[in-house]
């Protein structure tokens, strides 16, 4: 055995690096292409570093002739440091992107870099110029941009130009190729429609590329595509680059995409001194464009490739490795049979257990702990108790525990539980947008720019440093809302001025605005200034993260004035684009580490916990993209076997494998109990538990029942800082009887979330009406005019009606011109269709249009307005309700509380016998007919009664759920605030410097 010099003192490997035979083979390799398949924990980076050292020491290469490429800045820096420590020389270690960007820069072809969200925002702002017909919806203008950008980024990964795509569309038009999928599978489109969509995609792609070129901008993907194009175009440059880096080494090779591999192939040239190290079973960035077939592709480009497989794992116990292998080996082999290699996946050998056996030491290898739990809370409580138990027996540090999960939301219960038990922990990449501190700061900024942003001003008024009397404010708001006409907004600022303490708020806003303008402060500075003036915690880690985010924004190529107003507009789009402001945790802190599995890649922990290992949480279920990447456009080299769904499932399995192989000593996997006959957790846990060969390595058990009484109440109070004053405001007992008069939609709102119901009625904050609601109102008005005119015997002409609608819509104050235009087109179309259908059918005998009612239902006053009541041939009346939004289904019509209540009202108020109930969908121009039995009407009464009782009893608990994303109070709701427990906040000194 040969001993290499130790390269990693930081990792406390004080012993010299002892290479085994396989590692030595890789390290001693000199010329020609080589691939090293280095499984988890087999020392792949060490091998790479030792090979560089040897190339130099043996005189094969000068230090400057070596190029080492990685994917992350951190990995590149670490490698550079380790090499400097080992050789005392500087080696070129850089990321792929930096390398390509530098190449472009030297050629004078660099550009301003747009991140994905920035490109989204860029296109969103110019969306009218895209002239979209298919991929746009009036109600949500930017809805399909994400789907389109996904497709374009996929094109980049495959080095596909707009011209190639345009050619593809031409071939489609000629009928030479199979029609691709350009919408959800369930939407059956005509061939013409598909071609229209393809043309639209083609236009968007060409236009996007053109705009970026005109403004000298590009994405991270462009770093690759443009560098590749440059190398292909410029032979002299290519020759120079080849001469500059005769030896190229690539770490994490499994993350390479097609474009990157082609660049590597070009750079390596004839001599092909290309050395790739990685683990194909840990490829988890396919969604980022990494080709799941990177290793195969390498082999095809370089047929002389030597393959070395490292199989000795120095990290984990045999039990962990056996279980992990059982999971990963369900994936197909890494190489297909055509790849002429004898490589077959085999279980990694635990070097630790082998050594222990040799020295006849006791093996303290515990089996993998497979825990099933009945509910989330039980999972969190069992984990915490297990952690406490391990720490008691092994005296390890908190940072020896790593908690891994598939999605961020999976950690919430555990974070609470850890905080309750006073265990220090930190969360990697937590989104700070919903922390109270950041919400406060953003609200303050919004009112400084525009005091008329009511939701923000409301939040600011509730800050504890002001002494606004909430009861007084509430009654003032209610009084004014009661006087003014419905829909007329009363600015909160004007009301606030009349309430005690309100002046201070407005003064502070004014002062902040003056300071900002006097100092001509740009966003980052302005935010800090505002934070200080309003007394919100500048020192909080969340606020620091937000400030850093703003500072970075100021340096973006698309940022113009750098002023607060521009930033707030950006922030709004950023949210729409799905952006998150992620906080980096301090890895050195002695705290339990919580992160996603992606975040855990490359790390190791003595004790690993994997959460929610149940389908469809982890593995997550497949969701198809809106636009499929057509088979015909795939690079023939990179086309990997299997459809997207299969590839997705395989990647989930690799992700699970990555999670498991992070563990050194113990591994605990948690999954929700199955609901069928098989009570084991569905998914990979079930697979492992039922695998008899894993019996010695796996122990399945049920989670201990949670014992809430054990919680240290003092610690819990300490961990959750006192509720914000806003929360206290919103929790004030209701004024008056909110349930005195209900409507169908009020009952429904109460059923979805009692708190939302209360806030809507109580505070009467003027809310910006949704565009969809304004459109709906305009549409209702014109229909009413139409039926009224018929009843009065003076029917209006179609043109008159269309004009009425257009004028109405123009007057109703939709801010976005483009959106208004979309609605105008949509409304005109729907109206024309509706009128055309009306003209050919027998006109209904209309009794009432938009008729108000107020009746007693189950002892409660219920009010509403019926769109249309017709007399039917059999003497009954039919009720029609127009729907301007998404078309309602039969089931929705059958179950609608609104229609039931209308039926009850028609009976009560006028004594009508009710016949048909209809939702008339203007979209598609079809009526969905329904009926009500007495029993169903009784059910409706019961629903009203339930809601009325709940309201009377003062039950206004928030109900969290998917509906929260559409709730107007989302930014205020205390239930949706994410607090950072004490242990999370790093000391300010450890934060990144701001500039």
Partner DNA sequence: TACCTTGACATTTTT
Partner DNA sequence: TGTCAAGGTA
In whole angstroms, give the CA distance from residue 297 to residue 254: 11
Beta bridge partners of 95: 70
- The residue behind tokens 């968007």 is 204
Q: How far is CA 422 from CA 349, 412, 719, 720, in A?
A: 38, 15, 7, 10
Query: Among residues 218 and 502, whose Cβ is nearest to DNA?
Result: 218
Q: Which is nearer to DNA, 293 or 499 (CB)?
A: 293
Q: Which is nearer to DNA, 208 or 666 (CB)?
A: 208
Give the phi and the psi of residue 939 in degrees, each rounded to 5: -60, -40
| CA–CA distances in Å: residue 981 to residues 174, 334, 716 | 62, 44, 10
Binding status of residue 24 toward DNA by CB under 7 A: no
Residue count at the site for DNA (CB under 7 A)? 56
**Closest by Cα among 326, 333, 241, 264 to 292:** 333
For residue 701, give both structure tokens: 């058990």
Residue 657 engages DNA in binding (rule: CB under 7 A): no
Tokens of 810: 């123009």
Q: Which is nearer to DNA, 289 or 299 (CB)?
A: 289
Q: Does 920 bind DNA (CB under 7 A)?
A: no
* Min dist. Cβ of residue 309 to DNA (A): 23
Whether 655 and 310 have beta carbons less than 8 Å apart is answered as no
Toward DNA, which CB reaches closer, 448 or 897?
Answer: 897
* Selected range binding DNA among 388-396, 435-443, 824-832, 959-967, rule: CB under 7 A: 959-967
Q: Toward DNA, which CB reaches closer, 115 or 554?
A: 115
150 or 832: CB nearest DNA? 150
Query: Which residue blocks in 174-317 are alpha helix, DSSP H?
Result: 191-214, 220-233, 235-244, 258-268, 294-301
848 binds DNA (CB under 7 A): no
Alpha-carbon Rg for the chain in angstroms: 32
Q: Is 820 in the site for DNA (CB under 7 A)?
A: no
The span of 59-67, 350-358, 550-558, 670-678 binding DNA (CB under 7 A) equals: 670-678
273: contact with DNA by CB under 7 A: no
Q: Which of positions 604-623 make contact with DNA (CB under 7 A)? A: 612, 614-617, 620-623
- Give, as ranges, the residues between 284 and 303 that touch DNA (CB under 7 A): 284-285, 287-290
Name every residue whose Cβ is closer than 8 Å to that of residue 360 and which is 6 or more positions away in sequence.
none
From the list 173, 467, 678, 938, which residue makes contact with DNA (rule: CB under 7 A)? 678
3-class SS shares of the chain: helix, strand, coil, % to 5: 50, 15, 35
Residue carrying the six token digits 């092909």: 272
The residue behind tokens 């309201």 is 951
| Shortest distance in whole angstroms from residue 287 CB to DNA | 4
Nearer to DNA, 648 or 664 (CB): 648
330 SS3 class: coil
Taking the complex as a whole, the smallest distance from the CB of residue 358 to DNA amounts, in Å, to 37
Residue identified by tokens 């009926």 is: 931
By CB under 7 A, residue 666 contacts DNA? no
For the bound state, the minimum distance from the C-beta of residue 427 to DNA, rounded and expressed in Å, comes to 11
Binders of DNA among residues 409 to 428 (CB under 7 A) are 409-410
DSSP 369: E
Kindly tell me which residue out of 200, 255, 417, 454 binds DNA, with binding defined by CB under 7 A: 255
User: Is residue 195 classed exposed, middle or buried when 0-12, 13-18 and 19+ CB atoms within 10 A define those classes?
Assistant: middle
What's the min distance (Å) between Cβ of 401 and DNA? 18
- Residues 934 and 894: beta-carbon distance below 8 Å: no
Joined tokens for residue 96 = 């792929």
Closer to DNA by Cβ: residue 595 or 985: 595
Asked if 74 touches DNA (CB under 7 A), the answer is yes
> In the bound complex, what is the minimum distance in angstroms from residue 113's beta carbon to DNA?
8
Query: Is 971 a residue that touches DNA (CB under 7 A)?
Result: no
- Is residue 582 close enough to count as binding DNA by CB under 7 A? yes
CB of 973 to DNA, least distance (A): 17
Q: Cα 742 to the chain's mean position, in Å?
A: 37
- In angstroms, the Cα distances linking 652 to 265, 640, 683 are 29, 16, 11
Q: Which of residues 25, 81, 110, 116 is near DNA by CB under 7 A?
A: 116
Give the interface segment with DNA, choosing from 34-42, 65-73, 361-369, 388-396 (CB under 7 A): 65-73
* Three-class secondary structure of residue 192 per DSSP: helix
Between CA 91 and CA 70 the distance in angstroms is 13
Strands of the sheet with 698-702, listed across from one edge = 425-427, 592-596, 401-405, 605-610, 663-672, 368-373, 698-702
Nearest to 881 by CA among 725, 870, 871, 502: 870
Q: Which of residues 623-642 bind DNA (CB under 7 A)?
A: 623-624
Among 6, 72, 494, 828, binds DNA (CB under 7 A): 72
> In the window 170-189, what residues touch DNA (CB under 7 A)?
184, 186
- Please state the closest distance from residue 135 (CB atom) to DNA, in A: 15
Taking contact as CB under 7 A, which single stretch among the options 330-338, 528-536, 575-583, 925-933 is the one that binds DNA? 575-583
- Name which position in 11, 131, 963, 982 contacts DNA (CB under 7 A): 963
Query: What is residue 27's three-state secondary structure?
Result: helix
**DSSP of 134-179:** SS-BTTBTTTTHHHHHHHHHHHHHTT--HHHHHHHHHHHHTT-SPP
What gap in Å lies between CA 430 and CA 799, rounded to an integer? 55
Q: Please, what is the minimum distance in Å from the beta carbon of residue 75 to DNA?
A: 7
Can residue 988 be called a binding residue for DNA (CB under 7 A)?
Answer: no
Query: How far is the CA of 338 from the CAs of 297, 306, 335, 750, 951, in angstroms?
Result: 12, 16, 8, 62, 70
What is residue 861's three-state secondary structure? Answer: strand
CA pair distance 319, 445, nearest whole angstrom: 54
Hey, which residues between 345 and 374 contact DNA (CB under 7 A)? none
Interface residue with DNA among 485, 560, 677, 794 (CB under 7 A) is 677
Q: Which of 28, 102, 115, 554 binds DNA (CB under 7 A)?
A: 115
Q: CB nearer to DNA: give 285 or 458.
A: 285
- Chain positions 688 to 747 lying near DNA, rule: CB under 7 A, are none
Point out which span in 164-172, 405-413, 633-641, 833-841 binds DNA (CB under 7 A): 405-413
By CB under 7 A, tell whether 981 contacts DNA: no
Residue of 22, 653, 672, 820 interacting with DNA (CB under 7 A): 672
31 binds DNA (CB under 7 A): no
Coil, strand or helix at 26: helix
* Position among 208, 258, 596, 650 found at the interface with DNA (CB under 7 A): 596
Q: Which residues inside 868-907 make contact with DNA, applying CB under 7 A?
A: 886
The minimum distance between CB 118 and DNA, in angstroms, equals 11
Question: Would you say 613 and 685 are in contact if contact means Cβ atoms under 8 Å apart?
Answer: yes
* Nearest residue to 261 (alpha-carbon basis) of 103, 93, 35, 459: 35
Which of residues 92, 125, 598, 970 is near DNA by CB under 7 A?
598
Q: Does 436 engage in binding with DNA (CB under 7 A)?
A: no
CA 388 to chain CA centroid, Å, is: 32
DSSP letter assigned to residue 511? H
Within 448-477, the residues that bind DNA by CB under 7 A are none
Considering only the stretches 95-103, 197-205, 264-272, 462-470, report the one whose residues sit in contact with DNA under the rule CB under 7 A. Answer: 95-103
Judged by CB under 7 A, the stretch of 135-143, 167-175, 479-487, 596-604 that binds DNA is: 596-604
- The two tokens of residue 896 are 């609608």
In the complex, which residues of this chain contact DNA (CB under 7 A)? 71-74, 95, 97-98, 115-116, 184, 186, 220, 252, 255, 284-285, 287-290, 406-410, 429, 578, 580, 582, 595-596, 598-599, 612, 614-617, 620-624, 648, 672, 674-678, 682-683, 886, 961-963
């Amino acid at each position: 055995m040969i001993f290499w010099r130790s390269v990693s003192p930081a990792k406390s490997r004080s012993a010299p690096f002892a290479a085994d035979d396989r590692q030595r083979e890789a390290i001693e390799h000199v010329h020609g292409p080589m691939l090293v398949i280095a499984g988890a924990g087999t020392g792949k980076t060490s091998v790479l570093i030792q090979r560089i050292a040897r190339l130099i020491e043996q005189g094969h290469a000068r230090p400057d002739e070596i190029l080492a490429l990685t994917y992350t800045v951190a990995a590149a820096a670490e490698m550079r440091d380790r090499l400097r420590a080992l050789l005392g020389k500087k080696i070129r270690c850089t990321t792929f992107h930096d390398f390509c960007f530098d190449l472009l820069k030297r050629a004078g072809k660099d550009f301003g870099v747009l991140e994905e969200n920035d490109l989204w925002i860029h296109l969103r702002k110019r969306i009218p110029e895209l002239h979209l017909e298919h991929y746009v919806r009036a109600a949500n203008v930017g809805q399909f941009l994400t789907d389109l950008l996904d497709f374009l980024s996929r094109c980049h990964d495959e080095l596909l130009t707009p011209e190639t795509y345009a050619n593809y569309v031409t071939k489609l038009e000629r009928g030479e190729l199979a029609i691709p999928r350009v919408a959800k599978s369930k939407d059956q489109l005509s061939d013409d429609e598909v071609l229209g969509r393809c043309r639209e995609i083609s236009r968007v792609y060409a236009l996007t590329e053109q705009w970026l070129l005109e403004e000298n901008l590009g994405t991270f993907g462009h770093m690759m595509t443009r560098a590749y194009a440059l190398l292909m175009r410029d032979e002299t440059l290519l020759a120079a680059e080849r001469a500059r880096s005769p030896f190229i080494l690539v770490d994490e090779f499994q993350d390479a995409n097609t474009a990157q591999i082609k660049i590597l192939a070009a750079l390596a040239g004839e001599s092909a001194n290309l050395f790739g190290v990685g683990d194909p079973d840990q490829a988890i960035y396919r969604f980022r464009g990494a080709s799941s077939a990177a290793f195969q592709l390498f082999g095809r480009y370089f047929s002389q490739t030597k393959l070395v497989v490292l199989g000795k794992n120095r990290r984990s116990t045999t039990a962990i490795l056996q279980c992990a292998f059982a999971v990963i080996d369900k994936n197909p082999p890494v190489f297909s049979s055509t790849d002429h290699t004898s490589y077959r996946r085999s279980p990694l050998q635990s070097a630790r257990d082998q050594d222990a056996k040799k020295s006849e030491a006791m093996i303290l290898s515990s089996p993998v702990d497979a825990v099933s739990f009945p509910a989330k809370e039980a999972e969190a409580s069992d984990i915490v108790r297990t952690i406490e138990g391990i720490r008691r027996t092994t005296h390890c540090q908190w940072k020896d525990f790593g908690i891994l999960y598939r999605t961020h939301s999976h950690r919430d219960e555990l974070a609470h539980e850890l905080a309750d038990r006073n265990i220090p922990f930190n969360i990697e990449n937590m989104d700070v947008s919903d922390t109270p501190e950041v919400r406060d700061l953003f609200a303050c900024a919004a009112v400084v720019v525009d005091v008329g942003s009511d939701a923000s001003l409301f939040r600011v008024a509730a800050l504890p440093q002001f002494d606004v009397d909430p009861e007084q404010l509430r009654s003032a708001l209610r009084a004014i809302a009661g006087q003014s006409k419905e829909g007329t907004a009363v600015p909160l600022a004007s009301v606030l001025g009349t309430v005690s303490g309100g002046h201070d708020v407005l003064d502070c806003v004014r002062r902040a605005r003056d300071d900002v303008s006097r100092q001509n402060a740009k966003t980052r500075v302005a935010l800090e200034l505002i934070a200080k003036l309003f007394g919100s915690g500048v020192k909080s880690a969340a606020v620091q993260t937000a400030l850093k985010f703003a500072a970075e924004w100021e340096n973006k190529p698309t940022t113009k004035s750098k002023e607060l107003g521009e930033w707030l507009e950006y922030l709004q789009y950023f949210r729409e684009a799905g952006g998150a402001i992620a906080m980096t945790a301090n890895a050195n802190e002695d705290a339990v580490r919580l992160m996603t599995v992606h975040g855990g890649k490359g790390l190791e922990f003595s004790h690993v916990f994997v959460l929610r290992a149940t389908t469809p949480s982890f593995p997550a279920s497949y969701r198809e993209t809106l636009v499929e990447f057509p088979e015909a456009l795939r690079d023939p080299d990179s086309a990997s076997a299997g459809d997207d769904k299969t590839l997705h499932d395989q990647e989930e399995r690799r992700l699970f494998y990555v999670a498991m192989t992070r563990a050194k000593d113990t591994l605990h996997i948690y999954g929700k109990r199955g609901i069928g006959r098989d009570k084991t957790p569905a998914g990979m846990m079930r697979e492992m538990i039922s695998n008899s060969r894993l019996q010695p390595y796996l122990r399945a058990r049920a989670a201990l029942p949670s014992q809430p009484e054990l919680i240290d109440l003092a610690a819990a109070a300490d961990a959750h800082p006192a509720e914000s004053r806003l929360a206290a405001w919103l929790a004030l007992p209701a004024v008056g009887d909110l349930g005195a008069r209900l409507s169908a939609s009020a009952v429904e709102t109460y059923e979805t979330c009692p708190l939302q119901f209360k806030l809507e009625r109580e505070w009467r904050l003027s809310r910006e009406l949704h565009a969809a609601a304004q459109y709906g109102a305009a549409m209702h008005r014109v229909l009413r005019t139409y039926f009224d005119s018929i009843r009065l015997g003076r029917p209006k002409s179609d043109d008159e009606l269309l004009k009425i609608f257009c004028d109405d819509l123009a007057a109703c104050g939709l801010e976005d011109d483009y959106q208004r235009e979309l609605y105008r087109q949509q409304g005109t179309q729907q109206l024309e269709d509706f009128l055309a259908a009306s003209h050919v059918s027998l006109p209904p005998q209309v009794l009432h249009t938009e008729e108000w009612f107020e009746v007693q239902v189950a002892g409660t006053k219920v009010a509403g307005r019926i769109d249309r009541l017709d007399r039917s041939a059999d003497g009954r009346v039919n009720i029609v309700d127009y729907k301007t939004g998404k078309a309602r289904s039969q089931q929705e019509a059958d179950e609608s509380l609104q229609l039931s209540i209308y039926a009850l009202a028609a009976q009560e108020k006028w004594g009508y016998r009710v016949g048909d109930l209809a939702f008339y969908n203007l979209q598609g121009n079809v009526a969905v007919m329904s009926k009500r039995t007495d029993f169903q009407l009784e059910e409706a009464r019961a629903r009203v009664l339930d809601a009325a009782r709940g309201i009377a009893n003062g039950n206004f608990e928030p109900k969290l759920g998917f509906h929260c994303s559409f709730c107007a109070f989302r930014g205020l709701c205390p239930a949706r605030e994410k607090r950072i427990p004490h242990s999370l906040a790093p000391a300010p000194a450890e934060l990144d410097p701001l500039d």
